[in-house]
């Protein structure tokens, strides 16, 4: 089916209390593993990209790949731009066919975040595309952004309420609730109370960033408290690499590339299906 919009997909997830998995794709093979995994479990899914990956492949090839893959299945697939501060990149994604975009103003002051998010909101909503916006500071590394553990800041509830009043049509809201991008160094310290306070004051689906490394019980508490979009990047990237290196270890003399691509695809697709099943979106297409 044609590329789907993220807002209705996430509204349904919020109401029915399941999580839509959002994977950071790397290349065509990775996007194929995500879309096929979702199709096999009859689940809605989000393919998202960091700016670094877009710079590698270009806007048009990515949009073409994902559109083609989406056309070949009958589950909703949204194409989303992950953390981005550059309005030109946001415009280029929308022009190329992305169905949602994120503006990440979380490193700005609260006022400046609102001011700049308004510019992105105007661009996205006038094009009929959903917007994700963030406040607080999510720890860890994503793309070129690094937030040290000590600098991670939980989103303030009053600020969440004020922020969202400016953006009634926001597709998804990303308040920092203690999760972190990348591999967790210690036990993740999720502020469930803060999450519940936010979701009882703000009626917008919440994005859970930093999904890699969380336990089933942590996902399920976050999802039942209103997290409708669950981001997985690091796990997918590690499986992308492990697909190749795992086969190389067992068959060091193999010189034919296609078995490597197949091994990588199967490993990534298994990861995709595991996450979809864990987030309760299986059968929810």
| Catalytic center residues | 82
Q: Which of 35, 45, 82, 90 binds ligand 13P (CB under 6 A)?
A: 82
What does the alpha-carbon distance between residue 157 and residue 194 come to, in Å, rounded to a whole number? 7
Cβ proximity to ligand 13P: between 55 and 251 the closer is 55
Min dist. Cβ of residue 72 to ligand 13P (A)? 25
| 117 lines the binding site for ligand 13P (CB under 6 A) | no
| 234 lines the binding site for ligand 13P (CB under 6 A) | yes
| 175 lines the binding site for ligand 13P (CB under 6 A) | no
Cβ proximity to ligand 13P: between 32 and 181 the closer is 181
Q: Which of 36, 132, 134, 142 binds ligand 13P (CB under 6 A)?
A: 142
| 131 lines the binding site for ligand 13P (CB under 6 A) | no
Q: Which of 37, 178, 211, 280 binds ligand 13P (CB under 6 A)?
A: 211
Stretch in the footprint of ligand 13P (CB under 6 A) among 72-80, 165-173, 190-198, 210-218: 210-218
Stretch in the footprint of ligand 13P (CB under 6 A) among 53-61, 113-121, 151-159, 205-213: 205-213
Cβ proximity to ligand 13P: between 170 and 247 the closer is 170
Taking CB under 6 A as the criterion, which residues in 19-58 touch ligand 13P? Answer: 24
| Residues at the site binding ligand 13P, with contacts judged by CB under 6 A | 24, 82-83, 142, 181-182, 209-212, 231-235
């Amino acid at each position: 089916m044609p590329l789907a919009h993220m807002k209705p997909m996430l509204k349904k997830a919020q109401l029915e209390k399941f999580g839509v998995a959002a994977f950071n794709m790397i290349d065509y093979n990775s996007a194929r593993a995500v879309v096929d995994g979702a199709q096999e479990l009859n689940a809605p899914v989000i393919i998202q990209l960091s700016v670094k990956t877009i710079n590698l492949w270009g806007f048009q090839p990515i949009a073409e790949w994902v559109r083609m893959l989406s056309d070949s299945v009958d589950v909703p697939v949204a194409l989303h731009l992950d953390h981005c501060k550059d309005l030109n990149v946001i415009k280029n994604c929308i022009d190329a066919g992305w169905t949602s975009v994120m503006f990440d103003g979380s490193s700005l002051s609260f006022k400046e975040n609102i001011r700049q998010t308004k510019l992105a909101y105007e661009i996205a909503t006038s094009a009929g595309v959903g917007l994700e916006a963030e406040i607080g500071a999510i720890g860890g590394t994503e793309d070129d952004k690094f937030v040290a553990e000590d600098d991670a800041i939980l989103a303030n509830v009053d600020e969440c309420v004020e922020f969202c009043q400016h953006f009634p049509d926001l597709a998804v809201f990303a308040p920092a609730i203690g999760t972190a991008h990348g591999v967790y160094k210690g036990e993740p310290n999720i502020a469930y109370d803060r999450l519940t306070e936010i979701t009882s004051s703000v009626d917008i689906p919440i994005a859970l960033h930093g999904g890699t490394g969380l336990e089933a019980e942590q996902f399920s508490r976050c999802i039942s408290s209103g997290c409708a979009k669950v981001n997985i990047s690091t796990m997918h990237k590690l499986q992308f690499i492990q697909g190749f290196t795992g086969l190389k270890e067992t068959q060091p003399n193999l010189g034919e590339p296609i078995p490597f691509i197949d091994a990588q695809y199967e490993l990534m697709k298994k990861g995709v299906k595991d996450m979809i099943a864990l987030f309760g979106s299986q059968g929810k297409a």
